[in-house]
Amino acid sequence: MTKRGFLKGKLLIAMPSIQGDDFAKSVVFLCEHSEDGAMGLVINKPAPRMVFADLVEKLKLDDTSAEIMQLPVMFGGPVKQFQGFVLHSTDYAMEESLVISKDFALTGTVDILKAIADGKGPSAKLLALGYAGWSPGQLESEIMRNGWLHCDADAELVFGVPRASVHEAALARLGVSSAMLSSEAGRA
């Protein structure tokens, strides 16, 4: 774990022991992690049949470029699946934005969606519906039971890698591949 044992701003990488549609082979960006618990966004699982154009239509935002309209919307996690979040670069911030690190911020307001639709939003962004949450000590317990690996997050891995390749790319940052992983925790 990092300083004081917390992983805010890091990536969680699901191990084979994590099963189920929500988290199997998932990569979660941790927006918050403290003694009070953890909150993050799954960054590699698209929300079924959802793109930014759908949000523009539902929220009655102004039309924008075709490229922006095709931005995928991620399944951020199973908690509050109709609440939207934008994980983004820090070149754009609002008063309501949570600055996570020098490279990442999180905003959960309609105003950022309007800015994106108008071409005035952050240069790098990932849209998500819902989030993943852990109660105090729960994430640490899952890590100890061989549920998650973790690595540093960087803009290329979070925003640049194709979503279907993020899990393998995150593992590669640790020098491993999914073929090397086991769902069993070892004992020395």
Average model confidence (pLDDT) across the chain: 86
Q: What is the pLDDT of residues 50-101, one digit of tens each?
A: 666 666 666 665 555 555 566 778 899 999 988 889 999 999 988 999 999 9
- CB < 8 Å & 24+ apart, contacts of 52-60: 52/116, 52/117, 52/127, 55/84, 55/113, 55/127, 56/113, 56/117, 59/110, 59/113
Six-digit token string for 103: 């490279």
pTM: 0.87
CATH of domain 3-176: 3.40.1740.10
What are the residues facing 33 on neighbouring strands?
38
Q: What confidence category does residue 184 fall into, taking pLDDT thresholds of 50, 70 and 90?
A: low
> Regarding predicted confidence, which is higher, 75 or 177?
75
Q: What are phi and psi of 158, to 5 degrees?
A: -75, -45
Instruction: Delimit the domains of the chain by residue range.
Output: 3-176
Q: What is the mean pLDDT of residues 93-110?
A: 92
